[in-house]
Each structure stands twice: as structure tokens, then as C-alpha cells.
């Protein structure tokens, strides 16, 4: 039995290896960048190295037989064919002033596709690292809203890709569970529910509880003073205050889990409170190495804050590591967190997924960590910013009354709408079945209400995720249910229907796929639609590498949409069942199905074999 394949180099990477070996062989004394790219000029790829290489050769003294970039290209092309030990290239031709057009051989493409059919969509080879991804991060005692959607699903997709590639990933939920607002919340809890320790209070509606506490704080000066005292008691470890704080946190966790369970997102909560015990030591270290300076309040010289102005930043606002009242805030916590993640977690790579407005803050934190010597050249620090979720008016997405939209409600509305659509189709199909005119589509008639609800959840939640992830994360995007639930166009619904159609073809063929895979049958590409679909399948590893370098899930979404479009053309032009090429085309569909399943999973979409 052949050894299981666990990774697959990109096609362009395999070509670049050939071109590098050829260049070293043909011109061993000259170091020059090897430039290989996809081509739309009558070839699959193009080696564009000859022009720059000619310039270096000319500067060093042209070797015999070389008078122009075209001569360099011809010598490279000859060497490339000699270095092609796997017969990867069907044709290597010099064109124009010195470009080398490369056509990949059909058998080589087919061999790779057979590997996908057997082993599934594989990651590119990577040097694995320990990665901390900080995402979602809602505030305790507040509802998760539409703004949390982006951080949660972008961060989850990044984690899924990293895990797929073999990295050790820590999914950190840096919840806002500490700070001055808790004095207000605990004080209000103690006043309204004085027996909270023995009789758990009914504070399930956190949003209402927070608003009541804030109103009390703003309107009652005595209560505001009491709230400040509660902060001191909480931070000093007072038992009753800590117990009240824990109750509020527990209610919040239950509310957060309602969202995470719908989205299929897993996180480990490591809130702001966790880092509290490390802040003193971290600030002391920053002070000892000379990064901390005093910032005197001009209006009250007795109020002196401790700040850090990291080098290599242009921001006038520093990091405030100690407030003028001696307390710690957001900046202090984030410096303690980055220290902990580098030294305690031993992370090589730390990723923060937050809104674009926090970019200046994280630039300061990263530069401070570098200036302190914590983050070295081997440490990768990334802030992954994103834009707003907007309504049809282009403004921040809110309810008609101007309230922030609860994320649970937003997700469930998509499920409800999709459930209504599926139910209507079910009634239509039942009617067609009774009339004997089903057209072969009777899958919904076989579903009970519970199954239909499950399908509505998979499609509805996937539609919300995909509508967000397909957009460039830097940009704002319009949240529109009608568009995201449309089965036509670039939507999750379209992708899911394509996946179900593939499963239907395979199922209706009556062929045992495991037996076919074990039979030694091979994919043979003949028709143009087969080649186009096959070539796109082999771009999977390139897309994963692009995602890892940019941390932009939209590249995966664009790839999945293009795959489904090419499948539609293949379906229209290439008969599968009953054709002499049936086995080859079924194997091609298996490779496609496995790639789509993996791609869907990487952006958090479900997969349905029947719709």
C-alpha cells in the first residue's frame, strides 16, 4: 500500500524548483531572482527571469553565445527540460523578447488530481509554528452584536486554515471581564438583589441589566462613588465582590455560547482579568529598561501617568501603562498579554482580529514589544483589521429603532427565512410528486420538520458567514438577507447547491466510490471543461498559501465560487453517467467534492449532500 500523502507543494512551487535548478545549471556564477507566474497568453505558466538575468550577465561580462535576453531564455528553456525529472512540462517555448511559456502535461495534471481523489485536498508544506489567535472578544454584561460577527468568523477561519496546515493554534477569547464598569455592575447587583449569594438573581437579559446599572451610575452621585469603591474591592480580591463578578461573567458566558454554538466556533476564554496579576511585573520591566516616561497632567501637576512612546511609530498618543490614579487600563493589559503569549505560551506568531479603528493601538503594542526585546525577528505579530457591517443605507447596521442588532437575532433571522423558503419548496415538490412531474427533484419531500430545520440552520448560518467572508475584510459591506440567501450568484446557497448536485451525480451513478478508488482507475483529462476544472483544483495549495500570507479569507471564497462555476460548465458539457469516460469523470468529481468539503470547512460553511 502506498504511503499516505499529507501535503502537496503548489504547482507554481514545483515549477519554480525546476526553474531554479535550471538557472543554477545554465548560469552557475550569477545569482538572480527566479520569476515564475501564471499566464493567460496561450500557456499555463511563464518564466520571466531571462530579462533581469541578462542585465546581471551583461554587468559581469556576457558568456559565449549570449547576445540578448532571448538567448538567455533559450538556454534556460533547454536546462528546464533537462531538470524536469517528473515530466511535468509538456511544452517549453521561448516567446517575445525573452519570456518562456510553459504548458503543463496532461498526465502530470491527472496524476495530481488522482492524488486529491485518493487523499483529499491537502495543505501546502509549511514550517509549523505555535500561533495565538485573539478574536471575537466580546464584553461581559453586554450582548454580542453585529460588530462581533466579523471578528468571530474571520478569526475562526484563520484558525481553521492554520490548524489544517499543521500549526499549533491557541484560539483565545480575550473577553472584557475587568475594569471600572464592573464596580457599577456589582454595586447595582448588590442593591437590587441583596441576597444574590444565596438566591441567584434573574439577570438573563444582560443588556437591560447593563442599561439599568449605567442609568443608576449616571443619575446617582452616591451610587457612582459606591461603584468606584466596588472596583477597589474587586481588584483587591474581596470575596463578596468576586462572587458577584463571577455570577455576571457566568451569565455572559451562557449568552456568548448561544452565538458560538450557532456559528460552530470554538474558543478558549482568557479574559482581561487573567493578565491582572502580571501587569505590575511587566510595567516594572518596561520601566527598568528605560521605555517608561512620566506624563504630567497640565491641569493638575500632581496627576502623573506612566507612558511608553515606542520607537518607529508616528502616533502622538502613547501607550498609557499606568494611569494618573495609579490604576491600569487597556494598554497595560495588552502589554501584559503580549508578554505572556511570547514567554509563557512560547508563541512564534500572534494574531489579533479587531476592527480597523484599533490599528494604531496595536502598532504601538507591537513596537513596544519589539523595543523591549520580547518580540524578535523570529516573532510574527499581525493585526487583522476589518471594516463595518452596514445596512442598506451604508451606515452601521442597526434595528429600525436605532438599536444595536443582537447577533443571535441576526443569525436566527437567516435561519427562519431559509426555513420558510425550504418549506415552500417542499410543498411545491409534494404537489409535483402527486402530479407525477417531479423532474427528479424530490429530496425535500423526504424530510421531516426536524431535518428541514437542520438544513435551514446550515444554509442560513452559512449564508451569513459567507456574505461576510467573501468581502475584502478591510472594506465595509452591506448586510442584506435577500442577497445572501439567493441561490444564484456568489452566495453560500449557490455553493451548497453545487455541492449537493455533485453528491447527487455520484449517488445516482450507482458506483461504489471506495471500490472505484481502490480499482486503480485513473483520471484522464480530454475535454476542455475537464482541463479547466482540473487545473483550478490544483490551485488549492496556492490559495492556502495566499491566505496564510495575507490572512484574508475572501481568497478562499473567491476560489470556491470559481470552482463551482467551472463545475457548472463541466456538468453542462461533459456527460458523466453512462459515458465511456464515466469512471474518470466520477473520480474528477470525487476530487472536486473533497476539495469543496475542505474549502467549505476552512471558511466555516456546512456541507449538504441533499437539498
Query: Does an H or E element contain 477, and which?
Result: strand 477-478
Q: Which of 457, 451, 453 is nearest to 412 (CA)?
A: 457
- Contact in structure between 440 and 399 (CB atoms under 8 Å): no
Query: Does an H or E element contain 490, and which?
Result: none
Q: What pLDDT sits at residue 1?
A: 42
d(CA 517, CA 584): 10
DSSP single-letter state for residue 94:
E
| Bigger pLDDT: 462 vs 325 | 462
Q: What pLDDT sits at residue 441?
A: 52
Q: What pLDDT sits at residue 400?
A: 67
Buried b or exposed e, range 223-260, using 16+ CB within 10 angstroms: bbebbeebbebbbeeeeebbebbebbbebbeebbeebb
pLDDT tens digit sequence for 26-85:
999 888 899 999 887 778 999 999 999 999 999 999 999 999 999 999 999 999 999 999
Q: What pLDDT sits at residue 72?
A: 96
HSE on the CB side for 439, CA within 13 Å?
A: 7
Rg of the chain's alpha carbons, rounded to an integer?
Answer: 30
Residues contacting residue 279 through CB under 8 Å, at least 6 positions apart: 328, 332, 333, 335, 336
| Domain residue extents for the chain | 11-104, 130-174+269-390, 181-263
Q: Of the given ranges (343-352, 354-363, 423-432, 452-461), which has the lowest mean pLDDT?
A: 423-432
563 class by beta-carbon count within 10 Å (0-12 exposed, 13-18 middle, 19+ buried)? buried
Q: Which of 114, 109, 117 is nearest to 88 (CA)?
A: 109
Where does the pLDDT of residue 437 fall: very low under 50, low under 70, confident under 90, or very high at 90 and above? low
pLDDT tens digit sequence for 541-584:
999 999 999 999 999 999 999 999 999 999 999 999 999 999 99
Q: What pLDDT sits at residue 3?
A: 58
d(CA 582, CA 137): 50
- Contact in structure between 98 and 54 (CB atoms under 8 Å): yes
- pLDDT surpasses 70 at 405: yes
- Contact in structure between 271 and 172 (CB atoms under 8 Å): no
pLDDT tens digit sequence for 358-390:
999 999 999 999 999 999 999 999 999 999 999
Instruction: Give the homologous superfamily in CATH for domain 130-174+269-390.
Output: HUPs (3.40.50.620)
Measured CA distances, 304 to 134, 290, 295, 300, 388 (Å): 32, 17, 6, 9, 36
pLDDT tens digit sequence for 103-154:
999 999 999 999 999 999 999 999 999 999 999 999 998 889 888 999 999 9
| Bigger pLDDT: 350 vs 316 | 350
Q: What is the DSSP string of 281-302?
A: HHHHHHHHTT-EEEEEETTEEE
What average pLDDT does the chain have? 92
* Topology of the domain covering 11-104: Gyrase A; domain 2 (3.30.1360)
Q: What pLDDT sits at residue 438?
A: 54
Sheet arrangement for strand 319-322: 292-297, 300-308, 319-322
pLDDT tens digit sequence for 269-309:
999 999 999 999 999 999 999 999 999 888 888 888 999 99
Measured CA distances, 540 to 93, 434, 528, 532, 559 (Å): 26, 44, 20, 14, 8
- Contact in structure between 169 and 129 (CB atoms under 8 Å): no
What share of residues in the chain are helix, strand, coil (percent, to 5)? 55, 10, 35
pTM for the structure as a whole: 0.93
Q: What pLDDT sits at residue 235?
A: 81
- Contact in structure between 124 and 545 (CB atoms under 8 Å): yes
Average pLDDT over residues 240-251: 91
pLDDT tens digit sequence for 68-109:
999 999 999 999 999 999 999 999 999 999 999 999 999 999
Residues contacting residue 138 through CB under 8 Å, at least 6 positions apart: 144, 148, 175, 176, 252, 256
Amino acid at each position: 500500500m502506498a504511503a499516505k500523502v499529507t501535503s502537496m507543494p503548489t504547482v507554481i512551487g514545483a515549477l519554480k524548483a525546476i526553474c531554479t535548478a535550471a538557472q543554477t545549471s545554465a548560469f552557475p556564477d550569477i545569482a538572480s531572482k527566479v520569476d515564475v507566474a501564471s499566464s493567460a497568453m496561450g500557456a499555463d505558466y511563464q518564466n520571466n527571469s531571462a530579462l533581469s538575468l541578462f542585465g546581471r550577465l551583461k554587468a559581469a561580462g556576457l558568456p559565449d553565445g549570449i547576445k540578448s535576453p532571448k538567448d538567455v531564455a533559450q538556454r534556460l528553456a533547454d536546462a528546464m527540460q533537462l531538470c524536469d525529472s517528473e515530466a511535468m512540462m509538456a511544452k517549453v517555448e521561448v516567446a517575445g523578447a525573452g519570456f518562456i511559456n510553459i504548458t503543463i502535461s496532461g498526465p502530470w495534471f491527472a496524476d495530481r488530481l488522482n492524488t486529491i481523489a485518493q487523499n483529499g485536498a491537502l495543505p501546502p508544506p509549511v514550517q509549523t509554528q505555535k500561533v495565538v489567535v485573539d478574536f471575537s472578544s466580546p464584553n461581559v454584561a453586554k450582548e454580542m452584536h453585529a460588530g462581533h460577527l466579523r471578528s468571530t468568523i474571520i478569526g475562526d477561519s484563520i484558525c481553521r486554515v492554520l490548524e489544517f496546515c499543521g500549526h499549533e493554534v491557541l484560539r483565545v477569547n480575550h473577553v472584557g471581564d475587568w475594569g471600572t464598569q464592573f464596580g457599577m455592575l456589582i454595586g447595582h447587583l448588590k442593591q437590587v438583589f441583596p441576597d444574590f449569594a444565596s438566591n441567584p438573581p434573574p439577570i438573563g437579559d444582560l443588556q437591560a441589566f447593563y442599561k439599568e446599572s449605567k442609568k443608576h451610575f449616571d443619575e446617582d452621585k452616591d451610587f457612582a462613588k459606591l461603584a468606584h469603591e466596588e472596583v477597589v474591592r474587586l481588584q483587591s480580591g474581596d470575596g463578596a465582590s468576586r462572587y458577584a463578578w463571577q455570577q455576571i461573567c457566568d451569565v455572559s458566558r451562557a449568552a456568548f455560547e448561544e452565538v458560538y454554538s450557532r456559528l460552530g466556533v470554538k474558543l478558549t476564554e482568557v479574559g482581561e482579568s487573567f493578565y491582572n496579576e502580571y501587569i505590575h511585573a511587566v510595567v516594572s520591566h518596561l520601566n527598568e529598561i528605560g521605555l517608561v516616561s512620566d506624563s504630567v497632567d497640565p491641569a493638575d501637576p500632581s496627576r502623573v501617568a506612566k507612558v511608553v512612546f515606542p520607537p518607529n511609530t508616528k502616533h502622538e498618543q502613547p501607550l498609557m501603562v499606568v494611569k494618573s490614579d495609579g490604576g491600569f487600563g487597556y494598554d497595560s493589559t495588552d502589554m501584559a498579554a503580549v508578554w505572556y503569549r511570547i514567554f509563557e505560551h512560547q508563541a512564534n506568531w500572534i494574531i489579533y482580529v479587531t476592527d480597523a479603528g484599533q490599528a494604531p493601538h496595536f502598532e504601538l503594542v507591537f513596537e513596544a514589544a519589539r523595543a523591549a526585546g520580547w518580540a524578535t525577528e523570529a516573532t510574527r505579530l499581525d493585526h487583522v483589521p476589518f471594516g463595518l457591517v452596514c445596512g442598506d443605507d451604508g451606515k452601521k447596521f442597526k434595528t429600525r429603532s436605532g438599536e444595536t442588532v443582537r447577533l443571535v437575532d441576526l443569525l436566527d433571522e437567516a435561519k427562519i427565512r431559509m426555513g420558510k423558503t425550504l418549506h415552500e419548496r417542499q410543498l411545491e415538490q409534494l404537489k409535483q410528486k402527486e402530479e407525477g412531474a417531479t423532474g427528479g427533484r424530490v429530496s425535500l419531500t423526504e424530510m421531516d420538520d426536524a431535518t428541514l430545520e437542520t438544513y435551514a440552520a446550515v444554509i442560513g448560518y452559512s449564508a451569513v458567514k459567507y456574505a461576510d467572508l467573501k468581502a475584502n475584510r478591510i472594506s465595509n459591506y452591506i448586510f442584506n438577507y435577500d442577497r445572501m440567501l439567493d441561490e444564484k450568484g456568489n452566495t453560500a446557497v449557490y455553493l451548497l447547491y453545487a455541492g449537493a448536485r455533485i453528491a447527487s451525480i455520484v449517488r445516482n451513478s450507482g458506483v461504489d466510490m471506495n471500490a472505484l478508488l481502490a480499482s486503480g482507475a485513473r483520471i484522464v483529462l480530454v475535454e476542455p471543461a475537464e482541463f479547466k476544472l482540473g487545473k483550478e483544483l490544483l490551485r488549492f495549495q496556492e490559495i492556502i498559501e495566499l491566505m496564510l500570507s495575507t490572512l484574508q479569507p475572501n481568497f478562499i471564497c473567491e476560489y470556491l465560487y470559481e470552482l463551482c462555476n467551472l463545475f457548472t460548465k463541466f456538468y453542462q458539457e461533459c456527460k458523466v453517467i453512462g459515458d465511456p469516460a464515466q469512471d474518470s469523470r466520477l473520480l474528477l468529481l470525487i476530487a472536486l467534492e473533497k476539495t469543496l468539503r475542505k474549502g467549505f470547512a476552512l471558511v466555516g460553511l456546512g456541507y449538504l449532500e441533499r437539498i
